[in-house]
Amino acid sequence: MEKRNCPIFRFFDWQVARRFASFTRVFLFLIVLITNPLASHADETAANPEMPVTRAPFDGQYIIHLSENSRVRESGRPEPGYFDSLAIELFDKAGLDARIVEQMPWKRLLEQAAHGSGHVLYPTTRSEERENKFKWVGPVSRTLWNLYGFAKDGWADQGFESLLVNARIGVLMASAREAYLRERGAERLVVVPREELLLPMMQAGRIDLIAIGGNILNHYVEEANTKANGAEIADIDGVVPYRSCYLYIAISGDVPDDDVSRLQAQLDQFKTDGFFLENRQSHGLSTNPGSGFIRAMLNLGNNGVSCIDLAGVDN
């Protein structure tokens, strides 16, 4: 029998041919990858967030992103329903076309807003870095930024600058609080995709303090106590207030200035004709006309005010 007709040699030739074909496919793929400018551009865009982003033009319809989801709705938390009903009524009374979409993670929402026009986000902090990325209607609320922790841990004995160095601070990913704390030099930030994860992480000892709104934290504490069947969680204190910010409705892209003016005028009317307070009351929120918060909300002179760093936070 000739060697080439021997089964074992035929098998060997087949294996060599198979490996050569596989090598050829890999080599051709690498050539295409190196020479294809579209693939290279996509990789560079993903790796370099500073590259300019092409934004889709405004098609005439606004997209209202709800600030609550079905799980929160069932929990009875009042505040998000307040913002949703305010925004929906605002666009309706202003006579602007809008569709409503369900809540999504904040970071993904910001990414959509960066690529599209007419996305409506709220309540949104009107920070310096966001000022030119959106058009603004408001304010619709005001919040005191505070770091919260368990009273027994004694973090309140340290000043703000010390906390930025020593404490593991949990904060919502891509939020204005995260950006501000990084700017102030926080060294041990722990970012989470959803704010409801912050309290359980602090209970588990994975973080020391949480940067979150006080009303929202109260809701999560009440929810945790209900689930604990009487075994209430340890007392939580506001460790240090460090900033006060007004919250707005933010609209992405090059939408008509006339639309923004109509929305602002309608919101101002809500504050003078009583609807603003009625909406708060219907969602179980304070309407005390003597409170500093309500006076600030009804004062149209505060339109355009963003954030104020609190003086003497280390005292």
Give dist(CA 250, CA 72) in Å, integer. 22
Q: Does 185 lie in the same domain as 259?
A: no
Q: Does 258 lie in the same domain as 184?
A: no
Give dist(CA 285, CA 68) in Å, integer. 16
Q: At 223, is the pLDDT very low, low, confident or very high (cuts 50, 70, 90)?
A: confident
Last residue of a domain, one of 243, 266, 294: 243
Whole-prediction pTM value?
Answer: 0.70
Please indicate, yes or no, if residue 34 is contained in any of the structural domains.
no
Question: Per-residue pLDDT for 312 more than 70?
Answer: no
CATH number at residue 156: 3.40.190.10
Which among 218, 212, 223, 213 is positioned nearest to 235, based on CA atoms? 218
Per the CB < 8 A criterion, the answer to whether 168 and 258 are in contact is no
Q: At 31, is the pLDDT very low, low, confident or very high (cuts 50, 70, 90)?
A: very low
* Domain count for the chain: 2
Q: Does 98 lie in the same domain as 82?
A: yes
Per residue in 101-117, pLDDT (tens digit) is 998 888 899 999 999 99
> How far is it between the farthest Cα atoms of the chain?
107
Question: Per-residue pLDDT for 37 more than 50?
Answer: no
Q: Which one is predicted more confidently, 183 or 18?
A: 183
Please indicate, yes or no, if residue 119 is contained in any of the structural domains.
yes
Average predicted confidence (pLDDT) for the chain: 82
pLDDT of residue 230: 67
pLDDT of residue 263: 98
Please indicate, yes or no, if residue 16 is contained in any of the structural domains.
no
pLDDT of residue 274: 96
Q: Does 74 lie in the same domain as 157?
A: no
* The pair of three-digit structure tokens given for residue 34, joined into one six-digit string: 């190196």
pLDDT of residue 22: 53
Per residue in 143-198, pLDDT (tens digit) is 889 999 999 999 988 889 999 999 999 999 989 999 999 999 999 999 999 999 99
Question: Per-residue pLDDT for 24 more than 80?
Answer: no
Please indicate, yes or no, if residue 40 is contained in any of the structural domains.
no
Q: Which one is predicted more confidently, 182 or 78?
A: 182
Last residue of a domain, one of 243, 267, 296: 243
Q: Does 135 lie in the same domain as 255?
A: yes
